[in-house]
Amino acid sequence: MSTFLPFTRPLLLVLLALPVWLLIRTWRRNESRLVLPFDHGGLRGSRFLSALVRMAECLPALLLAVAICLIAGPQQLGSPQSRRKVTNIEFCVDVSGSMTASFGEGNRYDAAMAAINQFVEYREGDAFGLTFFGNSFLHWTPLTTDVSAIKCAAPFMSPTRAIPGFGGTEIAKAVLACRRVLVEREDGDRMIVLVSDGYSSDLMGNRSQEIARELKNERIVLHAIHIAEGDVPPDVINLARLTGGEVYGVNDPFALEAVFQSIDRMQQTQQVQLAPDAFDDFRPYCLAGLVLLSLSTLCSLGARYTPW
């Protein structure tokens, strides 16, 4: 739809030349002369009545113009709208055997999933995905604003179940899998939240820096949460910091909740201005047509030339 022609079918407006031609013809034509018996009387023609009759004759042409405008599909722009800019967040959660270690009232895995469930509550409107990993990875939920599947996931992938293929820790493989999920989303920011408690052999050497460059090129920020006592592995630090993310080492459930709150503050929500929607605007044309039709009907009772 063009800004200068707010009609869905603007080419039909060319037909407005027809009512314009009828209006010009009405006002420029010469009145036909017909000799009547009273022409030799003393009555004189009235310019006012002549103009009134011609204006009445213009009403059908104006009605035709209104009909053409209606057929062309008049449009009107609505009020500008704004919506929350979506952040695409992929949780990458370690389910290796070490995640069964005691942590608060439960184990590390339970505490991590509880904190994630709280995080998705106060990030309403964002899109979340969940990937579990060990030596293998499993995309549990795709990126979606419906977080019910994430909230119900904890019992099924608990490391206490000793799921085959998930006993070790291969962070690089899991992060690259999350990257492939996020690059499919063209709109919105992209973020990976990595939750792990161990070292990863596939990040050694320069591998962490190579993966970090790939993530940065795709505008993906990675935040790493090391949910264990001791220092955070240097490779994990490189992986997060080089993408613009942060690294958090936590050793109690309260610190874990504070970490997710900190991530929420760092990733501020933004409002995106949307283009106003166009919708049909028949009302003014219909009102004009009704007025013109009413006037034309009234004028036909007297403001017209007699047919004899």
Q: Name the residue with higher pLDDT: 59 or 258.
A: 59
Please check whether residues 251 and 281 belong to one and the same domain: no
Share of the chain above pLDDT 90, in %: 32
- Tell me, yes or no, whether 91 lies in a domain: yes
Please check whether residues 20 and 125 belong to one and the same domain: no
Does pLDDT of 26 surpass 60?
Answer: yes
- Domain count for the chain, please give it: 2
- CA 122 to chain centroid: 20
The reported pLDDT for the residue numbered 91 is 94
Nearest of 274, 21, 226 to residue 103 by alpha carbon: 226
Question: 248 is in which domain, residue-wise?
Answer: 84-269
Query: Chain-wide mean pLDDT for the chain?
Result: 83
Does pLDDT of 111 surpass 50?
Answer: yes
Please check whether residues 173 and 245 belong to one and the same domain: yes
Please check whether residues 237 and 171 belong to one and the same domain: yes
Please check whether residues 48 and 107 belong to one and the same domain: no
- Tell me, yes or no, whether 52 lies in a domain: yes
Q: Where are the beta strands (DSSP E) in the chain?
A: 75-77, 81-84, 87-94, 102-103, 106-107, 127-133, 137-144, 189-196, 220-227, 247-250, 271-274, 278-280
- Tell me, yes or no, whether 15 lies in a domain: yes
The reported pLDDT for the residue numbered 186 is 77
- Tell me, yes or no, whether 305 lies in a domain: no
d(CA 95, CA 78): 50
The whole-model pTM stands at: 0.62
Confidence of residue 176 (pLDDT cuts 50, 70, 90): very high
Q: Name the residue with higher pLDDT: 163 or 264.
A: 163
- Tell me, yes or no, whether 125 lies in a domain: yes
Please check whether residues 69 and 215 belong to one and the same domain: no
- Tell me, yes or no, whether 64 lies in a domain: yes
- Tell me, yes or no, whether 307 lies in a domain: no
Please check whether residues 203 and 67 belong to one and the same domain: no
Please check whether residues 148 and 235 belong to one and the same domain: yes
Please check whether residues 250 and 114 belong to one and the same domain: yes
Confidence of residue 202 (pLDDT cuts 50, 70, 90): confident
Q: Burial code of 15-44, b = ≥16 C-beta within 10 A, e = fewer?
A: eeeebeebbeebeeeeeeeeeeeeeeeeee
Please check whether residues 234 and 109 belong to one and the same domain: yes
The reported pLDDT for the residue numbered 280 is 84
